[in-house]
Amino acid sequence: MTGLQGEPVKLLLDSLKIYSPTTKESEFANFLCQKMEKMGYSKVHIDKAGNAIGEIGRGDLSLLLCGHMDTVPGNLPVRKTRDSIYGRGAADAKSPLCALLAAGALAADTGIRITFAGVTEEEGEGAGIERIIRSARNFDYAIFGEPSGANRITVGYRGRVSLHVTVKTEGGHAGSPWAHKSAFDEFSSMLSRLREYEQANQVPEDHFRSLSISPTLVNAGSYHNVVPSLCEATLDLRLPPSLRASTAVREIRSIAEKSGEGVEVKIRPGEPTEAYEADTSSMLVRAFQRAILLRLKAKPTMVRKTGTGDVNTFAHRKGIDCVTYGPGVSATSHTDGEIVRIKDYLNSIEVLKEAVEQLAALGSRSGA
């Protein structure tokens, strides 16, 4: 492969050997910059958010190839077998990132201006993508690297908002619980009402189009024989495209207010991320469909995921067509068994290169 010196697998193995949990991506960013310079990228630099940025190619259309450098915590040994590679980030999401980097170099002569960005803190507060959004760069299309499989195009992600819930009551002696309201019991009752709200926002057998409410942190009580007067909890809401975060927060607040006298409930939402679903008739999706048919001789599959990613924030703020694509066994993400099939990884590079070529051809025919 031109510019890669025939070593895409080594690129991935070397990347996996650099431990880069969220906020500790600097070593990996320097590594990517060195690789970009060798592959022919220009304007290579690390920006103020720690993102590794490079540009390649020329043309009227501008394309962002964006993968995240950070992983969840927990270093894992890197291991290669005859057909697979294991290690932290093998699935989420260093194999997609390396595929984007390699494909960008291979697509340098397709007639599209390509910007590669290895971004920080996707698994955290999203500082990396926020910097890209606020920069002066404008793009016509964007491809984000996340695991799905070489013949699968991810066209949708649910939204997310976290709620910090505080429930206060008078508390009292555990020997007479009938005389004192328990903050924990009141929280439990509220959660039961929220389950009814959750059920009212379900689409049978379609998790992507359904609301989910997950209590992730719950803390109550101060002593073993005292009815809790304070309960604090965090609820993780995953939002379908039909439900905006502001609507969900407003309706949940209304449900919480039904807790009754002697109970104080406060709900403080975190920064919301709205759901995103791509236009499946867009040139970008069509380019991927053609690329998969041509390179893999396989039927393209469109996937809608129940999680949330950088693509949600970027697509809404920039208002452009985006998809997510990449190799890796997504079911192993954030586990100790992260894995990517080598054939899947190499195939995804070929598909990405072909998709850029198809996008250039479609753009030229449409006069874009």
| The one catalytic residue among 25, 55, 70, 354 | 70
In degrees, rounded to 5, the angle at the alpha carbon of residue 15 between the alpha carbons of residues 313 and 45 is 60
Residue 346 in domain: yes
Q: What is the pLDDT of residues 23-36, one digit of tens each?
A: 999 999 999 999 99
Runs of H (alpha helix) within 217-301: 245-256, 283-296
User: Residue 258 pLDDT more than 90?
Assistant: no
- Expressed as residue numbers, the domain containing 122 is 8-157+275-366
∠ Cα 311 324 162 (to 5°)? 40
Which CATH number belongs to the domain containing residue 232 in this structure?
3.30.70.360
What element of type H or E holds 193?
A: helix 183-200
Phi-psi domain of 229 (left: phi exceeds 0; alpha: psi -120 through 50; beta: other): alpha
For residue 2, being part of any structural domain is answered with no
Residue 290 is part of a domain; what is its CATH number? 3.40.630.10
Mean predicted confidence (pLDDT) in 65-91: 97
pTM score: 0.90
What are the φ and ψ backbone dihedral angles of 252, each rounded to 5 degrees?
A: -70, -35
**Boundary residue ending a domain (269, 289, 318):** 269
Q: Which residues pair with 235 in a beta bridge?
A: 163, 215
The total number of structural domains in the chain stands at 2
pLDDT at 5 over 80: no
196 and 262 co-located in one domain = yes
For residues 77 and 88, state if they share a domain.
yes
Q: Is 122 one of the annotated active-site residues of the chain?
A: yes
Residue 3 in any domain: the answer is no
Q: Are residues 251 and 287 in the same domain?
A: no
Q: To the nearest 5 percent, what fractions of the chain are helix, strand and coil? A: 35, 25, 40
DSSP-assigned letters across all residues of 47-69: -TT--EEEEE--SSEEEEEEEE-
Q: Enumerate residues 6+ apart whose C-beta is below 8 A from 80.
A: 9, 13, 86, 342
Mean pLDDT, the chain, whole residue set? 95
Domain end call among 246, 269, 292: 269
Q: What is the pLDDT of residues 139-192, one digit of tens each?
A: 999 999 999 999 999 999 999 999 999 999 999 999 998 999 999 999 999 999
70 has catalytic annotation? yes
For residues 48 and 142, membership in a common domain is answered with yes
Lookup: tokens for 178: 């009938």
One domain for residues 185 and 258: yes
Q: What is the pLDDT of residue 86?
A: 98
The predicted structure's pLDDT at residue 66:
98
Residue 1 lies in a domain: no
**Do 239 and 179 lie in a common domain?**
yes
If you average pLDDT over residues 54-77, what whole number do you get? 96
Catalytic residue among 25, 92, 122, 357: 122
Among candidates 366, 294, 357, 363, which has minimal Cα distance to 107?
Answer: 357
281 and 132 within one domain = yes
CA distances from 204 to 31, 34, 236 (A): 46, 49, 21
Same-domain status, 63 and 189? no
245 within domain boundaries: yes
Domain limit, last residue, from 222, 245, 269: 269
CA 92, 349, 148, 271 torsion-angle sign: positive
Average pLDDT, stretch 257-283? Answer: 94
Residue percentage of the chain with pLDDT more than 90: 92
